[in-house]
Structure 1
């Protein structure tokens, strides 16, 4: 999984301009580090990384996880950060978890965190959801906050010693917002969470805007929403800035006096209905009615492209209107993690025998792809046990070819 030192150097030398603009060198004990240079405006160092540093330095083992969307899933900034960790802790054997899933937002992240990340008990966690909360989910401030606080508070509740770094990537609209002197909605919400929980952040949007203003780079060189090596190097360099100022290396650990660190403080939640109890519901919580089945779809016979990561697994499926099921859950929120393709339908739901409401599963990216997305049907419920009835609506999106509902997971918090 790791890029070699030679590979990193080759990447940086691919073009002279990229090397001059974006690469600082791979030595963790660089001159800037030794001098204790002030971190750039794009980096906010909060709290510390002492707990994972101590584990890496004293046990020779390290568990590191990355969660986010396609920017995390792809071989971009993540392998660069992995290589930096190996260079900083050369005697440590690392186990890396890539929990990036393309197209997914912080809501999906909060609901899948226990199974995809916390089950591996990471010592250090990197989080990235700003772009997908903006362009894929189009979350409001409240929704982006509920998702990110869900991720952070869930992680710190389950693993009180886990160290966390959040990175904000950028798309053209977000870049324009930053260039206009404002914060994109998703970054503002995520940053409120980071401040509240004392977590360091790396704002690629701010750094890229600065470098463009200085004539050092451009959006084309950065590489787009899914950055090229030059863009990913900007992100990795910002994370290295956090490492430097947190004194995060084997040498720093040896220079410090040995001590036992208390768990990270856990302040009251910003929003008590954030998704920090996020989870997938067990199958026995679902009572299937007529028209529903738990089966792997025959994808080759269904219109729309399909991502192989979802192959070989059964889904809860209905394709005809009025098919109904029931879900028992507890908490304040309920939703569906679905694959919404060209034939995605509309669902109707009633909670605790209340009024019926509708949710359209079809997404603007559904036209040619079975698009993974989490649709939160209801949030802000009174905390406690609930019963939901769910049925396929007779109505459908005007752009959809059908009424299909294909559920990867029922989610609750």
Structure 2
């Protein structure tokens, strides 16, 4: 009954009293059909092979979660079709990295449908940042293959519950709705049933399941759902929306409209760091030769490393946006970044969570995009104060030897534009 009522209330339009379509996009709906997913469901119904890509953050990356569960659901509903998945979720990343890794990690594998999940990790960013990256994702997919269907899905954190309970979307999802409306992309909010259950006192967002035997516990940390509760609700919400979307006719031929923003990131490129000019001693690490590279092999097939102060990467590019996809961890130091016309800046590659190695990324201050810009990334002589940084989270060095090195890593250059030799 809860799911049925929520479907009626949210799926059929809580915002029907609003007169302006631009205003209504800020209000939460269970799903919006728009142009649907006609090509994907046409193949499913015909029993043809389909590939579903899941582009998102840690909620999508989680094994046994809504990604795996939804693939199982499609297989059960369409047993004659062969359903496979492209797992492209990376924890701690938003649409601003997703648009760069889209080509190699998703499009090169020829998906029939791409689910895009970044509402949690993008929350707190400015709407224009979200617009540029999400529109870049859409335009890249459509230009690669106009028959590839797209669906935005929104997950949540416990902190988002109050605004959702009021029937409004957080800034991230509301910004994504504007892009979805412009391109006719269906959207599904996976967490509205969760909010409803929490409002009824039947669910709590954070805790250990054994501590609340009479409640549904959504997650251990307010963010990452338990597979059998939070992720299950996400999958059920998606399944309900898919049943409706499956009935949507193909309609007119799909055309790519004019951009929502002219400065969108459809020209985002991810270039191997090995193509950059190197000064000093840089090691080329592979999963076969280095333990850090092995740990991050799903992120980088090859990674550069320099630990001697003064070793540098020189980047010459044309474009307004440039960044680096790299590594943060116990043995990482910091970059000194030099750009013409700007003072040198330090970019630490160590933070309060750096008790283990993980992929990370950062962007340089944007330029006008006119002419060629040169950046020099040099391994700084002075390392960050690791003890002080860890103490901000109450963490300590378990083994000082693991933290002694102050190296810098580089996996890919991120550029909206092109690299200049």
Specify if TM > 0.5.
yes
Deviation at 1:363, TM superposition (A): 5.5
Match of residue 184 from structure 1? 170
1:396 and 1:403 in contact (8 A); partners too: yes
| Aligned partner of 2:144 among 152, 158, 161 | 158
Q: Distance in 1 between matches of 2:205 and 2:157?
A: 9
Match of residue 374 from structure 1? 361
Say whether 1:65 aligns with 2:49.
no
Match of residue 92 from structure 2? 103
Which has the larger displacement, 81-90 or 388-397? 388-397
Match of residue 72 from structure 2? 83
Q: Distance in 1 between matches of 2:407 and 2:368?
A: 27
Alignment of 1:8-27 (within 5 A): none
Which has the larger displacement, 173-182 or 403-412? 173-182
Which has the larger displacement, 370-379 or 158-167? 370-379
Deviation at 1:202, TM superposition (A): 2.0
Say whether 1:128 aligns with 2:117.
yes
2:329 and 2:358 in contact (8 A); partners too: yes
1:285 and 1:327 in contact (8 A); partners too: no
CA 1:269 to 1:369, structure 2 compared with 1: closer, same or farther past 3 Å? farther
Match of residue 410 from structure 2? 407
2:139 match: secondary structure: helix
Q: Distance in 2 between matches of 1:207 and 1:373?
A: 33
Deviation at 1:82, TM superposition (A): 0.8
Scaled by the length of structure 2, the TM-score of the pair is 0.76
Residues paired across the two proteins, number: 367
Match of residue 183 from structure 2? 197
Match of residue 27 from structure 1? none
2:134 match: secondary structure: helix
2:349 match: secondary structure: coil
Alignment of 1:346-365 (within 5 A): 346-351=334-339, 353-358=340-345, 360-362=347-349, 364-365=351-352
Q: Distance in 2 between matches of 1:93 and 1:279?
A: 32
- Residue-by-residue CA offset, 1:164-209 (whole Å, 9 max, x unaligned): 1111112232234434665433223323322222222222344322
- Residue-by-residue CA offset, 1:110-164 (whole Å, 9 max, x unaligned): 1111000000111111111222234xxx533333333322322222222222111
Q: Distance in 1 between matches of 2:299 and 2:70?
A: 29
Q: Distance in 2 between matches of 1:285 and 1:175?
A: 45
- Residue-by-residue CA offset, 1:42-101 (whole Å, 9 max, x unaligned): 322222111122233346121211111221122200122112222332221123111112
Deviation at 1:404, TM superposition (A): 2.3
Match of residue 262 from structure 1? 253
Match of residue 326 from structure 2? 338
RMSD over aligned CA atoms reads 3.3
Say whether 1:222 aligns with 2:231.
no
2:329 and 2:355 in contact (8 A); partners too: yes
Alignment of 1:278-293 (within 5 A): 278-282=268-272, 285-293=275-283
Q: Distance in 2 between matches of 1:187 and 1:163?
A: 19
1:269 match: secondary structure: coil
| Aligned partner of 2:267 among 277, 280, 285 | 277
Uncovered stretches (5+) of structure 1, i.e. residues with no partner = 1-19, 25-31
Match of residue 45 from structure 1? 33
Q: Distance in 2 between matches of 1:141 and 1:240?
A: 29
1:350 and 1:357 in contact (8 A); partners too: yes
Scaled by the length of structure 1, the TM-score of the pair is 0.77
2:108 match: secondary structure: helix
Q: Distance in 2 between matches of 1:53 and 1:383?
A: 44
Which has the larger displacement, 283-292 or 163-172? 283-292
Match of residue 194 from structure 2? 208
CA 1:59 to 1:327, structure 2 compared with 1: closer, same or farther past 3 Å? farther
2:312 and 2:377 in contact (8 A); partners too: yes
1:111 and 1:278 in contact (8 A); partners too: yes
CA 1:321 to 1:192, structure 2 compared with 1: closer, same or farther past 3 Å? farther
Say whether 1:241 aligns with 2:230.
no
CA 1:51 to 1:384, structure 2 compared with 1: closer, same or farther past 3 Å? farther
Match of residue 143 from structure 1? 129
Deviation at 1:373, TM superposition (A): 1.6
